[in-house]
Amino acid sequence: MLGPNRYGKSQVRVVKVTRTRGRHTLRDLTVDVMLEGDFAAAHTRGDNRGLPATDTMRNTIYVLANRHPIDTLESFGGALVEHFMGRPAVVGVTVRVREHPWERLGDHEHAFQRGHGGTRVATVSVGGVSAGVEDLLVLRTTGSGFEGFERDELTTLPETDDRILATVVTATWDYGRAPADWHAVRDRLLAAFADHYSPSVQFTLHRMGEAVLDAHPEIERIHLSLPNRHHLLIDLSRFGERNDNAVFEATDQPFGLIEGTVQRAPAAGA
């Protein structure tokens, strides 16, 4: 028998320019829409009645982007959810919106450069709203180590109390009530990444999550994924050179991957 299933349109690229007198604003989005519903006949009998085409989903995204001011990713995602929930066979909709940052060139009215600080993400469904950040590349040149870990006959990694710590943060947080300010959450993550000695990526992950929950009571939980982007000290002794923790090889693969969720403890008596 057919199990759970869904389908939709993915990687729909939307760029919207809002032209006000003397100043343009730019929103650069990638939108994914996934529908759940009574679609069994399409799978088992080839009967496509009641099945919205993914091409229609793409067109709907562009039309609503034109009609909608896109004040926030959450509000735009909510408008898409509301629209697709009106289709007869649809019982669930999940919309994921990523915003690619652009920054204004100085005070120029209509010129931009690619921004930094990570990709903003929002996911909206009938069940709730979450937000997050992706591609947030951060690095510390010191203040990090890794010691006291389990060793066996296959362990070759030396212990260290001074290493480069680099990662690409992916974080997703769930709201308990009104959405938090995205920039404030992102900035809290960045501050917590840098404000302590890190004995492990695991410790830093927990500290970053805890810092967000302490600062934002409207957030119930935050999930973090931190790949360890290794920087390996190069042995220059064969060339008669001393490498005083200065020259490294940056490696992409393989890498350690540390993931975890930091959440609020249940209320007493719950």
Give the active site residues. 9, 54, 230
Instruction: Name the helix (H) or strand (E) containing 257.
Output: strand 256-263
Query: What is each CA distance from 12 to 17, 96, 131, 133, in whole angstroms?
Result: 16, 10, 19, 19
Among the listed residues 170, 165, 169, 223, the one whose alpha carbon sits nearest the alpha carbon of residue 194: 165
SS3 of residue 80 by DSSP: helix
Strand order in the sheet with 165-175: 7-20, 23-37, 90-99, 119-125, 128-140, 165-175, 219-228, 256-263
Decide: helix, strand or coil at residue 30.
strand
Would you mind telling me the total number of residues written for the chain in this entry?
A: 270
Show Cβ contacts of residue 165 under 8 Å, excluding neighbours closer than 6 positions. 139, 140, 143, 144, 198, 201, 204, 228
